[in-house]
Amino acid sequence: MSFQKAIGRPALPYLSLPVYVRSAGHILLEEACEIPLGHRPGGFVQVFWGVAGEGDVMLDSGTFRLKPGDVLWKSCAELHGYRTVTVPWELQWFTLEGALADEFMRGYGYTRHLEGAGPCPKEFFEELMSGISEIDFFTQRQLLSTATHILALAGRKLMAKDQAKTVADRFAALVQQRYRDPNLNINLLAKEMRTHRSTLSRHFAEIMGLSPGEYLAHIRIQEASALLRDSDRSILEIGTEVGLPDKSHFAKLFKRKMGLSPSAYRQMAGE
């Protein structure tokens, strides 16, 4: 059975806050339906969190597919509506109102649609719904902290991915600049980047799909391959040029990566 539960804040004329939680709700749609674009006078920021099933949230700026674990928000000025894609479709939401509501939300730096934010923290939405009807100044002020906790959870995975990408990009840039240094290694770069080696390895593998050590070896062998094809320098000179001055180690690493010894690769490339 479909239901829509919404609880709004009571009128408290002396509660003057630049941002406050206006309302919160829970929607479960068990049959196909579409609710056209519309909004109330004055407008409000609204945050939606997908619980189960899929549906479209229609905004002035476009239509967004809300899946389980997705978060979406709309600004005060936007119209919004809903359309089921699968049934049942379940989502929870809350709204923010006040003179600084838009500015407050934009300050998080979130994209409009946070895909894969994680399971909906239902307990915090329930906390909003249970407290929002209280005619109590302390409770009404405290609800904003619950809302900000929800928003922090919404961006947790996003921020973690951003952090991983920052670490991976910086490591890759350092390797490309300094791979010729025979003393360059993962421990040295992790220390320079002020991060633990295991943290570096985890973030780099998450973004690049290989370990930092494999990436360093890949860059060195890639450059060595080009020198073998395009120059007549000796194999020892080429190994030294790419940070692998030990001829035996260079030959073993090259064959493991390329399937041929350096000399066989050069011969094949020259045919």
| One domain for residues 139 and 192 | no
| One domain for residues 183 and 147 | no
| One domain for residues 185 and 232 | yes
Last residue of a domain, one of 140, 155, 170: 155
Question: What pTM does this model have?
Answer: 0.66
| One domain for residues 67 and 137 | yes
Domain assignment present for residue 232? The answer is yes
Look at the chain and report how many structural domains it folds into.
Answer: 2
User: pLDDT value at position 191?
Assistant: 94
Structure tokens that stand for 144 in this block = 């904003």
| One domain for residues 136 and 44 | yes
User: pLDDT value at position 271?
Assistant: 62
Domain assignment present for residue 126? The answer is yes
User: pLDDT value at position 40?
Assistant: 55
Sorted by sequence, the CB contacts under 8 Å of residue 34 that are 6+ apart come out as: 81, 82, 83, 84
Last residue of a domain, one of 108, 139, 155: 155
Residue 109 backbone class (left: φ over 0; alpha: ψ -120 to 50; beta: rest):
left
Domain assignment present for residue 49? The answer is yes
Structure tokens that stand for 205 in this block = 């593998």
50: Cα within 13 Å, side-chain hemisphere = 28
| One domain for residues 231 and 121 | no
| One domain for residues 19 and 109 | yes
Structure tokens that stand for 132 in this block = 């929002």
| One domain for residues 34 and 147 | yes
pLDDT means per 10 residues, the chain with 271 residues, are: 80 84 94 82 88 95 95 93 94 95 94 92 96 90 96 85 85 96 95 93 90 95 94 95 95 94 89 62
Print the domain residue range for 134: 3-155
| One domain for residues 186 and 101 | no
User: pLDDT value at position 41?
Assistant: 55
| One domain for residues 111 and 31 | yes
| One domain for residues 94 and 227 | no
Closest CA to 3 of 31, 34, 36, 28: 28
CATH of the domain at 187: 1.10.10.60
User: pLDDT value at position 217?
Assistant: 96
Domain assignment present for residue 244? The answer is yes
77: Cα within 13 Å, side-chain hemisphere = 5
Cβ pair 91, 55 in contact under 8 A: yes
CATH of the domain at 106: 2.60.120.10
| One domain for residues 21 and 132 | yes
Q: How many CB atoms lie within 10 A of CB 44?
A: 20
Domain assignment present for residue 173? The answer is no
Domain assignment present for residue 169? The answer is no
